Amino acid sequence: MTIAELQSLIRRMYHEKDAARGIEGTFMWFSEEVGELATALRGGSKEEQSLEFADVIAWLVTMANVAEVDLEEAIARKYGGGCPGCGKLACSCPDAEKP
């Protein structure tokens, strides 16, 4: 499944509810899922971790839908040419810097 396909699927399943909740409420759900992922990474099984990664991606896509951002295009624009910091495919930015 591509990012665009996932974004379209999530939109078809949930957009009416997501739009009514708004970006702030959706961000709160996203944040909760990130916390659940952190818990799973600290001590959950691979299956639990896998499901939490899926939830985090789904809520990220949901926020993009509510904000009307084409996530696949945004990712391609920012990362399609390599690291946004140094421009290389294999990042050579210093570890102390966020690329």
At residue 20's C-alpha, the angle toward residues 15 and 21, to 5°, is 100
* 36 close to 62: Cβ distance less than 8 angstroms: no
pLDDT tens-digit series, residues 20-78? 999 999 999 999 999 999 999 999 999 999 999 999 999 999 999 999 999 999 999 99
Domains and CATH numbers, the chain: 3-68 (1.10.287.1080)
pLDDT tens-digit series, residues 3-19? 999 999 999 999 999 99
Nearest C-alpha neighbor of 64 from the set 18, 17, 1: 18
State both tokens at 18: 């997501």
State pTM to two decimals.
Answer: 0.88
Please report, for the chain, how many H helices and E strands are present, in that order.
Answer: 3, 0
